[in-house]
Amino acid sequence: MGKNENIRLGIYLCDCEGKLVQSIDLNKIKSAIQSSADFEYIRIADLLCGKMEKEKIAHEIEKYSLNRLLIAGCTDPFIERQFTVLAEENGINRYEVEFVDLIKSGKESTKWAVSIISEVLLQMQERSAIVYEDFNVLPEVLVIGCGKEGAAAALAVSEKQPVTVIDHDSPREGINLLNGKRNITVKTGVKVVGLEGFPGQFLVRFLDNGKHVKQSFGAIIVALEAQAVFDKVKYNGVQLGERVLRLSQFRQSDKDQYAGRKVAFVLGQADQDSLLSYAAALTEAIALREKGAEASILYDDMKVSADQLEQDYERARARGVNFLKYNGELQIVTTDVAATVRYREPFLPQSEPIRLVSDCLVLADDYQSNAATEELAAALEVRTGPGGFFQDDNVHFLPVMSNREGIYFVGGCHGPIHGIELNKEVEAVKAEVGRFASGKVRAPLLQPRVTAEQCAVCLTCYRCCPHHAIEIVHDQSLNNMYHSAAHMNALACRRCGTCAAECPGKAIQLPLFSDQEILQQVSKPPKLVAYACENSGALAAEYARSLDPRLQENLQIVSVPCSGKIDALYLLKALERGADGVLLLVCHKENCKYVWGNERADKRKEQVQRRLEEVGLEGDRVEIVHLAANQGNQFNASVRSMVERINQLGANPGKVIK
């Protein structure tokens, strides 16, 4: 039995199909843990993300009544997501699942692995039990866009939940796949104009063929497809016609007509940023071969860096598709009977251009965001990123996630993607919205708490929340002059703590990271205090410690869930209580997991520098470092330079030691 009788821990050690480095022996780890830690169940698996494992783990969770999981092996955000979703499907909250990455560059060893697993285990044991609450949610899902991608998402989700699909001013190519299907309602001439509420209980405002109507949904999937555009300038102004087709058009065509004919695909002139054209050309070429056509793919650089593409490429080769590499410019000449491309072979640069004659030439398109994107993003209050597509360009964001819980992106709405990626996304999104299928969601009450007495209802938190997770509630029991207070929705909040740090009344506290809990850590600070984001600085610190453990002797690292949680007060307090310098360790620009926490941190650093200078202290005692989790060396370099700076500045003359 564990120390805390409420905690029933399951430990999984994964060998990743032997990908784990030789120096780690899982059996040794297992026995080391068995001798020292308290847990309910432990197992070594060959490949934990394999297909059969899902059911097995579910069975084990039930059998051993597990309520916390530790998974050690190779991890990446996608895998973590799979397991958190799996855990939640089986009644374990995502906050109760911890991952330990055993494939880190550097010092992998069994001893090292035991130590980091033990550390995490200890944290898991000590953490007090989280209070959970059941929330009523609507299983109904809204899919915006009824192209093929929207149809794929709707079909998958409709297996468990009722789905409404609307066209939202976009092409309706998927509509035939949906008509008459169980659990699916299709509405055309309908667009979203507004959104209220929170995940599980969204109220969507529609313009339905000119009429304003509203309907509630549990979750929303955006599936507005990217639009193929053909820029003939990229092909020296070639005219489209019977002999020259766009790839996006060719995909719609009946392949039977090409039996016995020659078709050539031209890649590399357009659509340089996605794999969509490469994937499409491979699929089409294989299909042509099956119909008895001759197929050539003219490419400058074959991009196959995605699941399945490599196999498709091999398959195409095996089926006799010609792959022709070119270099530099192409010349296209068409006549009534043929289309000819003149190109240069990269390995024979001096030779004459080669002529490739075919009956039909298929040219790659470019892809741009759907024209309705901007307006829809504004209506849903979700963010857009590069190229006007949905979603920020942010490494922390999984492909299907938006900045709001309950709203997901599938397919080309967040950038052109090919079919295999689409299938993955559909599966991921199905799992996400599937949480609402039963009409109830169990969630931990870990979102920030508001003390109504101190809430001035100033709306600062509401405006600063990157996830639109805050509402103002009104109730006679709320003890302030407004009988109102901010309230963080448990299903929408991602616990970044930005609201708590922005609150001018100090009315907001984030559980596990309250002001008291944080300031306790700097009650008698060493020379240097570093407030570190859990997603970057704190992880880099962990790695950096292995590189140079002594460097951290005079350094207090205070972890926060996001740099948006680093209150200006924390910085001043550390200095007031005796630190000589303060570091903010935050994620790289535009790479905050919580959208803009690091930008808020930047501003707070500036504010505190100003405040220090106002009272005659050196602003340089505060510094911010943007880094990533794997930048241990950068961490050490930053600490060294800060220590050097502090040594030059001398002791902080403003410290008030009681």
Partner 1 sequence: MIIVDNKAVEDVLQMIAPYKKVLVAGCYGCVTVCLAGGEKEVGLLASQIRMARQKEGNPIEVLEQTVERQCDKEYLVKFQDNARDVEAIVSLACGIGIQYLAEVYEPVPVFPGVNTQFLGANRDVGKWEEFCMACGECVLDKTGGICPIARCSKSLLNGPCGGSQFGKCEVSKDIDCAWQLIYDRLKSLGQLDKMAEYIPAKNWHRDKGPRKLVKEELTLERD
Is 459 near partner 1 (CB under 8 A)? yes
| CB nearer partner 1, residue 108 or residue 576 | 576
Widest CA span of the chain, in angstroms?
93
Q: How far is CA 14 from CA 67, 100, 109, 217, 240, in A?
A: 19, 10, 15, 38, 54
The answer to whether the beta carbons of residues 223 and 229 sit under 8 Å apart is no
Q: Per-residue x/- marks for partner 1, 538-557, CB under 8 A?
A: --------------------
Q: How far is the CB of 456 from partner 1 (least distance, A)?
A: 4
Is 524 among the residues that bind partner 1 (CB under 8 A)?
no
- For partner 1, the closer of residues 85 and 450 by Cβ is 450
Q: CA-to-CA distance for 446 and 132, rounded, in angstroms?
A: 9
Identify the residue among 175, 458, 643, 649 touching partner 1 (CB under 8 A).
458
| Residue closest to 469 by CA, chosen among 450, 486, 488 | 488
The residue within the footprint of partner 1, chosen from 71, 617, 622, 629 (CB under 8 A), is: 617
CB nearer to partner 1: give 294 or 567: 567
Residues 380, 408: contact at Cβ < 8 Å? no
Give, to the nearest 10 degrees, the angle between helix 568-576 and helix 597-614.
40
Residue type, 564: G
What is the 3-class SS of 204-252, one letter each residue? EEEEECCEEEEEEECEEEECCCCEEECCHHHHCCCCCCCCEEEHHHHCC
- Contact with partner 1 (CB under 8 A) among 13, 223, 377, 464: 464
Does 653 bind partner 1 (CB under 8 A)? Our answer is yes
Q: Does 619 help bind partner 1 (rule: CB under 8 A)?
A: no
Helix (H, G, I), strand (E, B) or coil at 132: strand
Nearest CB to partner 1, comparing residues 286 and 458: 458
Under rule CB under 8 A, residue 456 binds partner 1: yes
Q: Buried (b) or exposed (e) across 613-638, using 16+ Cβ within 10 A? A: eeeebbeebbbbbbbbbebbebbbeb
Q: Which stretch binds partner 1 (CB under 8 A): 76-84, 93-101, 147-155, 504-512?
A: 504-512
Q: Does 616 bind partner 1 (CB under 8 A)?
A: yes
Strand-strand pairing, 366-368 and 227-229: antiparallel
Q: How many residues of this chain bind partner 1 (CB under 8 A)?
A: 33
The residue (of 282 and 457) whose beta carbon lies closer to partner 1 is 457
Q: Which is nearer to partner 1, 48 or 464 (CB)?
A: 464
Verify binding: residue 349, partner 1, rule CB under 8 A: no
Report if residue 386 touches partner 1, rule: CB under 8 A: no
Roughly what angle, to the nearest 10 degrees, separates helices 419-434 and 276-290? 110
> Would you count residue 503 as binding partner 1 (CB under 8 A)?
yes
Task: Report how far residue 89's alpha carbon sits from residue 13's, in angstroms, rounded to the nearest whole number.
Answer: 21
Q: How far apart are CA 627 and CA 641, in angstroms?
A: 15
Name the one range near partner 1 by CB under 8 A: 119-127, 187-195, 490-498, 503-511.
503-511
Residue 460 in contact with partner 1, rule: CB under 8 A? yes
Q: Which is nearer to partner 1, 178 or 455 (CB)?
A: 455
Question: Residue 575 interacts with partner 1 (CB under 8 A)?
Answer: yes
Residues at the contact surface with partner 1, assessed by CB under 8 A: 454, 456-460, 463-464, 480-481, 502-507, 567-569, 572-573, 575-576, 611-612, 614-617, 653-656
